[in-house]
Amino acid sequence: MTTSTGHERRNGAETRAEILRVALRLFSEKGYEATSTKDLADALGLTKSSLYYHFRNKEEIVACLMADRRHDLDGLIEWITAQPRTPDLARRAVARWMDGTTPQHLQAMRLAQANRPLMRRLADGDDVRAAFGRVIDLLADEDASAQDRILLRMTFDTIAAALLATQETDTDPRDVIAAARRASIALTDAFANRST
């Protein structure tokens, strides 16, 4: 059976994934507020009632998009906790975070940056940026100075900085990620070579 757009029938998980993918694209292109549920349903070849079967509203779609990166962060925390405390742990942790960053993550970050009030409302005190405090606690030595902790935090913020630097440009997302990776390596090296 096919929908009006010719797509084959998808199962529930596939449909949800497709809704998230298309919503992220439309929210990025048109803006969150300017994208209606009708726009989403039309782009997916679904009825609005089918869309509502999977998500109650646009906010729930955005919350689900943001939960994906929070899940990645929880996995990073679990990974760091299981690692031996070696001098290169911070560098390996940052490399792992960068390796998990995709162009879709950049789209979601741009969506979050452009819709801060919505993000604050959806986060309800539990956003990814705030949760990085746990990562820093795991990676910093007990005697790490405030400057050391800031430097370590900056290693994970290179993606956000690269996005800001390329705002209003058509820079390829792979170049944004590559530049962020280079900056994060330099910062982890500076953290590893800090004076004690």
Alpha-carbon distance 25 to 41, whole Å? 13
pLDDT of residue 143: 86
Amino acid identity of residue 55, one-letter, is F
pLDDT of residue 111: 87
Q: Phi and psi dihedrals of 2, rounded to 5?
A: -125, 160
Residue at token pair 């997916």: 44
Q: Check residue 8 and report its DSSP letter.
A: B
Q: Cα separations (Å) of 86 from 44, 89, 109? A: 48, 5, 31
pLDDT of residue 1: 39
pLDDT of residue 9: 59
User: Which letter, b or e, does each residue of 68-102 get, where b requires 16 or more Cβ atoms within 10 Å of its Cβ?
Assistant: ebeebbeebbeebeeeeeeeebbbebbeebbeebe
pLDDT by 10s per residue, the chain, length 196: 344 444 455 677 889 999 999 999 999 888 899 999 999 999 999 999 999 999 999 999 998 988 888 899 999 999 999 999 998 999 999 999 999 999 998 988 888 888 888 888 887 656 666 778 899 999 998 888 999 999 999 999 999 999 999 988 989 999 999 999 999 999 998 888 875 4
Tell me the Cα Rg of the chain.
19
**β-pair partners for 8:** 2
- Cβ-based neighbour number of residue 169 at 10 Å: 9
Q: What angle do CA 108, 178, 63 make, to 5 degrees?
A: 10
pLDDT of residue 157: 92
pLDDT of residue 5: 45
